[in-house]
Chains A and B, each alone.
Chain A
Amino acid sequence: MQSPKIMVMGVGNILLSDEGLGVRFLDELAKSTFPDNVELLEGGTAGLELVHLIQDVDFLIIVDALNANAEPGALFRFQPGDLQIIPEQYEVSFHQIGIVEVLTMANLLGHAPQTLIFGIQPKSLEWGLEISPEIEALFPRLSELVIKEIHSIQHEGKFGST
């Protein structure tokens, strides 16, 4: 079997402290080595531009800040189908096109990868390049979880069953 193309994408705005946790997490993840079929991508604050970057990806793992009204550091793992977007809250904006909209677009174009999202409730969204220490402290554990998913894809051809 041909190796599936796997991408880990960190998204967020690194100028707003924990909002950028997905991007900052990639630094932690990059300490490990990966086979050639795994790509780490800084999604940053790009919107529609991401669509063509995920078109030939088979498995996509996204790490992002998530507002679930939970305590800071709360971790969520879910697939896009678990979510519902309320149309009235959707903003037609080049900058506010969220990652879920990007996936819907990719799906419309017929190329949406199988996707798993790790979301963390941020502590601070204030201006600043620093990430809250208690959020950063979660990165090694999150790194283990992401690597476990990559193993599962490599060996079972699907995300883990957690």
Chain B
Amino acid sequence: MAKVVIDPLTRIEGHLRVEVEVENGKVVDAHIIGTMYRGIEAMLRGRDPRDATFVTERVCGVCAGSHGWASSLALDKAYGANVPAGGRLIRNLIIGAMYLHDHPLHFYHLSALDYLDVMAVAQYQGKDPGLLAVKDKIVKLVTAGDTAPLTPRYKPDDYSVNDPELVTMAVAHYLKALEMQAKAKKMSALFAGKQPHQSSIVVGGVTMLPSIGVVEQFRSMLYEQLDFIEKTYLQDVLTFGTGPLLPLAQAGVGGGSPHYLSYGGFARDDAGKDMFFKAGIIMDGNLSNIKPVDEAKITEDVQYSWYKASPNGKTPYTEDTVPDLDKKDAYTFVKAPRYDGKPIEVGPLARMLVMQPKGLMDIISKYNIKPGAVARHAARAYETVMMAKDMFNWLDALEKEMGSKDFRIHDTDHWEAPATGQGAGMTEVPRGSLGHFIKVSDHKIENYQMVVPTTWNFSPRDDKGVRGPVEEALIGVPVPDLENPVNIVRVVRSYDPCLACAIHLIHPETNQIKKFRIGW
């Protein structure tokens, strides 16, 4: 039979396109374009509020659970539900396990290939039997012409790591991470019933009562995860970030807007006073002035988005989402969220800058690392270790609750929708600050809005013409070779966008658009 190429056809959640203009080897302008309209918020109007938890989860199959959690937090407020400690802890553990799944996967499987010259594996001269086995497998694949999953889409450049020892180790860990991410997802499913798209978190708590055996199974899997995350994942990120990638880290390539936000998340007490991730706002890079978050300062602009301006205002409770495809100057389906009128970065780097854990801050100051693509990877790895460690405390607290006479996982008194109500579910999910905003009237959803991490980071220009965070982060990024815009990919991917992506480069001399397709 003749050789054929399998095209995976269309199996994507969404699309992201990046258009940059390059002059003298540097990016001088950037537009981030979300090319898909989902209509999920519009679909929710008029429905039973409880549907929102399960419908919004279908926004994505990767950040599964995150939207269900944020939605339930919003509904808890609208319903006046009091989530019992058992429900709160199980929710935290379900989403915590998603962090253990998402972050290493992002580093090893979605990002690392942008930094590695994988073919260096063939030059490995060491004696480690595990690494020799990796070398053997890779060489066999190369011989068979079948290296697709490991071949970067862009050519290695001056920043690429090509030390055979380091690269072989990274590839071995890439394979190990495949196994670990499957196990982390299983952990989440132990408490959530299934993954992706958990089925336990609902308004008022969770629906699945774990046995002590399941809790212990989760705990033993957590030990294995922590071992991998601390000794392998974080160690790899630090080895690369303070080694071959230090020039990128110190140059702060991909820095972006100097404003950072964390809503705070993972309540460790019933009152929600003690949060694992702290809430805070940093403006103008001033790390010594962390301000409290004021929900009322969140607005969304649509001047450059394919939506009609909302007649009732710009806040998530009042705005609507009505497409307007013919709008002049609009270039994206992503809205432009702003806090106090400013574009804001959300995600691991923002969270870590708000919390400033000593271990991470010491590394940052010792090596003089600036906010940027490499710092984002470091923050992501560091917070994963913090998360895994704290999850042991949540498990202890859950076991203690399970031993008490009035152990409950759900507030069954607040299950039916109220006649009216409103609430915001604002929390921290792997990619950043996630907010769901619901308004209930006549026991139905009157309005629903989601302001998601990728909307904050990948927002277009706002009504004042100010670029969104990633657009800003791309300005000045070196692109010495137009055919090989690997630095752009590194910057964009460091934000862990939950979208597929294609990049267009506008060549300033000829204005010819060169098309580079990449995906996530």
Contacts and interface: CB of A to CB of B under 8 A. Distances in A.
Interface in B101-126: 105, 109-110, 113
B5 A85 contact: yes
B443 interface: no
B6 A67 contact: yes
Contact of A92 (B9, B145, B181, B519): B519
A-B pairs, top 4 by smallest CB distance, nearest first, are: A93-B519, A91-B519, A98-B8, A52-B182
A91 B181 contact: no
Interface residues of A, number: 47
A109 interface: yes
Contacts of B141: 104, 107-108
A17 to B, nearest CB: 11
A151 B486 CA distance: 50
A49 B8 CA distance: 16
B178 interface: yes
Interface stretch (A2-10, A76-84, A140-148): A76-84
Contacts of B517: 91
Interface of B: 1, 3-13, 61-62, 105, 109-110, 113, 137, 141, 144-149, 151-153, 175, 178-179, 181-182, 185, 196, 500, 517-520
A64 B5 contact: no
Given A91-B517, A104-B141, A83 B5 contact: yes
Given A45-B61, A90-B148, A98 B6 contact: yes
A13 B109 CA distance: 23
A51 B518 contact: no
Contact of A105 (B151, B153, B178, B519): B178
A156 B149 CA distance: 33
A125 B148 CA distance: 26
A101 B179 contact: no
A13 B113 contact: no
A90 B178 contact: no
A64 B175 contact: no
A55 B44 CA distance: 40
B148 A94 contact: no
Given A90-B153, A92-B520, A64 B146 contact: no
A29 interface: no
A93 B113 CA distance: 12
Given A46-B61, A48-B181, A100-B6, 14 more contacts: A13-B10, A49-B182, A78-B4, A83-B3, A83-B6, A87-B148, A90-B151, A91-B517, A92-B110, A96-B8, A119-B4, A119-B6, A122-B9, A125-B10
Contacts of B147: 87
A120 B3 CA distance: 15
B153 A99 contact: no
Nearest to B153: A92
Given A86-B5, A89-B5, A96-B11, A51 B145 contact: no
A41 B8 CA distance: 18
16 contacts: A12-B9, A19-B9, A52-B179, A66-B6, A67-B6, A78-B1, A85-B146, A90-B148, A92-B109, A94-B62, A99-B6, A100-B6, A101-B149, A105-B178, A109-B179, A110-B137
Nearest to A79: B1
A68 interface: yes
B152 to A, nearest CB: 8
Contacts of B62: 94-95
Contacts of B13: 95
A88 interface: yes
Nearest to A86: B5
A68 B3 CA distance: 10
